[in-house]
Structure 1
Amino acid sequence: SVLFYLISGNQDLYKKCDAIYDFKRHQIHLCLTEGSTDFSSGSTALIRLGFNLYNGYEDGETSPYHLFYRLDEPNRILAMSAINMRFSIY
């Protein structure tokens, strides 16, 4: 899944993957609304993108503007690669 591609491609998300996804139940955690884990704005943007590509998750900050505005260059490249993977764009 593209969600796991994003998690594995970002060191902060990889370290906190158990707060993002429940591997026993095979479902995402509500980590964006719970507030129990501290994510940077860039990590939060990648989580929103990952959730959106995983199951269509949307909130007031899942627009391309909101997501990409918060990403640095390496994470923008990661995000674009994830979108390309999800929609098989070559």
Structure 2
Amino acid sequence: NYPNPFNPTTSIRFSLPLQKKISIVVYDILGNEVKTLLNNQEFEQGNYEVTWDGTNNFGSSVASGQYVYTLKYGNFSKSLKMTLLK
């Protein structure tokens, strides 16, 4: 994601070699789900960018700290840390 650390938004970029269904979920450092950015959404082959605005699934701003996002498609899964600084 870029920028990292971020405030108030960060962009998650990904590339797909083939058409795939993508899920991206943000978790807090304890593993609790914070925000679902994509839920099994279908994308064509190409390059994409999804923005997280530092809010949870209820639209409330989250606290400063470390978060992890997980990107999944098919059998592929990738998790990376990001830091929100307010």
User: Normalised by the shorter chain, which TM-score bucket?
Assistant: under 0.3
TM-score, length of structure 1 as denominator length: 0.26
Say which structure is richer in helix: 1
Say which structure is richer in strand: 2
Max Rg structure: 2
TM-score, length of structure 2 as denominator length: 0.26
